Amino acid sequence: MTISISRAGPADLDALAALFDAYRQFYGQPPDPALARQWLRERLRFGESTVLLAKRAGSTVGFVQLYPMFSSVRTAKTWILNDLYVDAGARRQGVARALLDAATAFAREDGAAGISLETSRDNAAARALYIAVGWREDATQWYSLAL
């Protein structure tokens, strides 16, 4: 079946929020559809993120959410691919690859210098996909501080 990718807008919010809530649950968060919807609505309303949706046979089956960043060293805009999720029933059917390709095309068209992402070392399936579509792993160590 054909996968279509489009940029999310207000009319997509309910379907997107359901997937976003499932994504958050995948990472151990409790279900909260209202919070998922509110978070996405604010990001989209204020232009704080760009969300690309994957649809197949009229159903939303996946999304990728990108946040803008800027590189002082490269004096250029970059994007962080923060969220990538495909509904369990649509996995291993090319949806994630289509979303990654669309994110790459979006960043290029936007004039960005690059896209970055992080995933856990034990996420072998995701790491294999990223490498297969041309991403490279860095040895850079990221540090975080919980506030």
Q: Is the pLDDT of residue 138 over 90?
A: no
- Token couple for 100: 């990654």
pLDDT at residue 131, rounded to an integer: 87
User: For the segment 90-133, what is each residue's pLDDT rounded down to a tens digit?
Assistant: 999 999 999 999 999 999 999 999 898 888 788 888 888 888 88
Asked whether the whole model's pTM tops 0.75, one would answer yes
- Beta carbons within 8 Å of 14's beta carbon, 6+ residues apart: 37
Find tokens 């919010």 and name the residue.
13
Whether residue 146 is contained in a domain is answered as no
Domain CATH for 31: 3.40.630.30
Which residues constitute the domain of residue 60?
A: 3-132
Which range (9-23, 31-45, 67-81, 110-124) has the least confidence? 110-124
Whether residue 138 is contained in a domain is answered as no
Whether residue 143 is contained in a domain is answered as no
Spatial strand order of the sheet with 59-71 comes to: 3-7, 50-56, 59-71, 76-86, 115-116
Of 111, 106, 112, 110, give the one whose Cα is nearest residue 63: 106
Considering its fold, how many domains does the chain have in total? 1
User: For the segment 71-92, what is each residue's pLDDT rounded down to a tens digit?
Assistant: 999 999 999 999 999 999 999 9
Of 49, 52, 36, give the one whose Cα is nearest residue 3: 52
Q: Is the pLDDT of residue 136 over 60?
A: yes
16 vs 22: CA distance, rounded Å: 10
pLDDT at residue 18, rounded to an integer: 97
The sign of the CA dihedral 69, 143, 136, 16 is: negative
Q: Is the pLDDT of residue 24 over 70?
A: yes
Cα-based distances in Å from 122 to 111, 125, 127: 32, 9, 9
pLDDT at residue 119, rounded to an integer: 83
Whether residue 91 is contained in a domain is answered as yes
Whether residue 147 is contained in a domain is answered as no
